[in-house]
Amino acid sequence: MRGPNLISSWPGAAALLGAALGVWICATNAASPEVYIVRKNDSLSQIAQAHGVRVQELARANGLSLESTIYAGQRLQIPRPGRDEEPHNARTVTVRKNDSLTVIARRHRVSVAALARANGLSLDDVIRPGDKLRLPPAGPARPALETRVQKAIDTAPVRRGTWKQIVIHHSATPMATIRGMDEYHRMECKMENGLAYHFVIGNGQGIPDGRVEVANRWTKQLEGGHLSTRSQNLVSLGVCLVGHFDHHRPTPKQLASLHALLRALIKRCGLGPSAITTHQLASKRHTRCPGKFFDLKAVLAELRSD
Ligand SMILES: [Zn+2]
């Protein structure tokens, strides 16, 4: 969880006073952010790197964009990693006694899955009074599916009743490309239709983070190759997220894309959220796919809260 006094450590008053007087009141308090004076030929990314912060955080802490020009003599505040997050528009809440993620989500009218995701938590993680949580954006912040993908879903010749379930997999590799997976399934697994899945969602390694790749098996409405029996493959759409979720969680962008994709697929195929499952749950053979860090419950909870 975050450190204590996320908000109070921000010396907003001192900074404002300093700005009003035209001088910078030097940091006297240990919790104040460091100030760096820009030298000739410095760049935001160099400064960020030298201070061990992300360039986006550095830019945000100074009201800059990544494209902003900086000049010698300019004073930049160096954010403290993980503490001075979004000081100006912070939407953070402090966990109270008897709070749960569900209670907090309801209180702030956000979905529990989005709340968990915004804080890198799973639904089963324990939160304690005094913890600070970041609130996800309120309102209709659900990302839409890319037009390209929505169109592919709408125009495929889906016959109602064909698909009974949607099965989620991970690639069990740190990176993947469509070509590589397709070749592997064609050559090694001897599948004449190649790539075994209907959709693949990238993680930024080989396929851009959160990008939904639409495979031939979807556009041509071919049976899957992702389960061990033909009878299951005939009725099961396969969605593969690149990554190894026994080692790490899916990326937030992957989860957002998965949510949008599943929502569109259940609508198109006349299914409900209960048709969504994992390889491990669907398979008659033992498999750990898609890994212990893939949280199906959270995915379903978010779909049901739509
Ligand atoms: Zn699998």
Q: What percent of the chain has pLDDT over 90?
A: 49
**3-class DSSP state of 165:** strand
CA of 116 to the centre of ligand 1 (A): 25
CA of 197 to the centre of ligand 1 (A): 10
Highest mean pLDDT among 29-33, 187-191, 255-259 belongs to 255-259
74 and 97 assigned to the same domain: no
The pLDDT of residue 141 is above 60:
no
Question: Residue 166's domain is classified under what CATH number?
Answer: 3.40.80.10
CA of 279 to the centre of ligand 1 (A): 5
The pLDDT of residue 40 is above 70:
yes
What whole-number distance in Å separates Cα of residue 289 and Cα of residue 281? 9
Q: What percent of the chain has pLDDT over 70?
A: 84
CA of 293 to the centre of ligand 1 (A): 14
177 and 297 assigned to the same domain: yes
What whole-number distance in Å separates Cα of residue 186 and Cα of residue 181? 8
286 and 168 assigned to the same domain: yes
CA of 204 to the centre of ligand 1 (A): 20
166 and 292 assigned to the same domain: yes
CA of 168 to the centre of ligand 1 (A): 7
The pLDDT of residue 190 is above 50:
yes
Question: Residue 17's domain is classified under what CATH number?
Answer: 3.10.350.10
The pLDDT of residue 36 is above 80:
yes
Q: Which two tokens stand for residue 121?
A: 């938590």
227 and 160 assigned to the same domain: yes
- Say if 7 falls within a structural domain: no
113 and 237 assigned to the same domain: no
153 and 300 assigned to the same domain: yes
Point out which residues pair with 251 in neighbouring strands: none
246 and 101 assigned to the same domain: no
∠ CA 123-128-134, nearest 5°, is 65
For residue 117, CA distances in Å to 29, 113, 130, 235, 286 come to 33, 6, 19, 31, 29
Q: Which two tokens stand for residue 86?
A: 């979004």
- Say if 140 falls within a structural domain: no
Classify residue 38 by burial, with Cβ atoms within 10 Å: 0-12, 13-18, 19+: middle
**Ramachandran sector of residue 41 (left: φ over 0; alpha: ψ -120 to 50; beta: rest):** left
CA of 283 to the centre of ligand 1 (A): 9
Q: Which domain holds residue 120?
A: 92-134
Quickly state the pLDDT bin for 9 (edges 50, 70, 90): very low
The pLDDT of residue 267 is above 60:
yes
Quickly state the pLDDT bin for 182 (edges 50, 70, 90): very high
- Give the chain's domain count: 3
Point out which residues pair with 277 in neighbouring strands: 167
- Say if 1 falls within a structural domain: no
Do 279 and 252 form a contact (C-beta atoms < 8 A)? no
What whole-number distance in Å separates Cα of residue 28 and Cα of residue 124? 41
The pLDDT of residue 17 is above 60:
no
The pLDDT of residue 168 is above 80:
yes
66 and 203 assigned to the same domain: no
237 and 266 assigned to the same domain: yes
100 and 39 assigned to the same domain: no
CA of 278 to the centre of ligand 1 (A): 8
CA of 203 to the centre of ligand 1 (A): 16
Instruction: Pick the closest to residue 261 from 176, 207, 195, 198 (CA basis).
Output: 198
For residue 61, CA distances in Å to 44, 89, 198 come to 12, 11, 42
What whole-number distance in Å separates Cα of residue 207 and Cα of residue 176? 7
The pLDDT of residue 22 is above 50:
no
**3-class DSSP state of 213:** strand
165 and 187 assigned to the same domain: yes
CA of 105 to the centre of ligand 1 (A): 31
Residue type for position 24:
W
The pLDDT mean for the chain works out to: 83
- The sign one gets for the Cα dihedral 140, 142, 146, 147 is negative
CA of 31 to the centre of ligand 1 (A): 47
Quickly state the pLDDT bin for 200 (edges 50, 70, 90): very high
- Say if 83 falls within a structural domain: no
* Other beta carbons within 10 Å of 112: 19
- Say if 142 falls within a structural domain: no
- Say if 219 falls within a structural domain: yes
Q: What is the pLDDT of residue 142?
A: 61
CA of 170 to the centre of ligand 1 (A): 6
Q: What is the pLDDT of residue 143?
A: 67
Residue where the block lists tokens 């035209």 = 22
* Other beta carbons within 10 Å of 257: 25
53-105 residue pLDDT tens: 888 888 888 877 777 788 888 888 888 755 444 444 558 889 999 899 888 98
